Homo-oligomer: A and B are copies of this chain.
């Protein structure tokens, strides 16, 4: 957990925290064999989540907010599955796994070569937002469910800082997209509450587009 509480670079003149991002053209993209996904009905999924909850308690997911610059505007990296589902790179923690270790494991499996499992450096910065579900089928909320009800699922968003250059290796059944900040905001129908709220969560940072 050593990196979670590390702070951003120095603030700018107005006291905002500065976060450096690099042009999309600084990165290289290739593909690797498809990841296998659990192919199941919604009812099967609800049953599986319930039995996991009974065994291990609240399900915790960690997801990465990764930015690049394109046309002088910040863009968010999203994974697209089956042409219509948009997801942040990340996934579920194993029981006992720390947020940062779990997120690094998930980032390696979805965005790097498998042999890089322990080698790719992922610079996980601070948690920028948390969403809770009081039931597996409900929408997520950015606050704990009202008293007396234990949350079933918690999704934590972490800012991940890219180096100035990197290779991304993406499973063939996923598409990696760079979506402009201005398109995410107010597009909850397309991207869901969590992703469409990211521009707000980042608004306290002063985003510095290096070399643009």
Contact = CB atoms under 8 A, between A and B. Distances in A.
Given A197-B200, A203-B131, A143 B181 contact: yes
B147 A73 contact: yes
Interface in A131-168: 131, 141-143, 146-147, 156
A129 interface: yes
* Copies held by the complex: 2
Contacts of A141: 182, 185, 199
A46 interface: no
Interface string A63-95: 000000001111000000000000000000000
A127 B202 CA distance: 11
Contacts of A129: 200-201, 203-204
A1 interface: yes
A173 interface: no
A4 interface: yes
A168 to B, nearest CB: 24
B11 A199 contact: no
Nearest to A194: B200
A185 B142 contact: yes
A142 B15 contact: no
Interface of A: 1, 4-5, 7, 11, 14-16, 71-74, 99, 126-131, 141-143, 146-147, 156, 181-182, 185, 197, 199-204
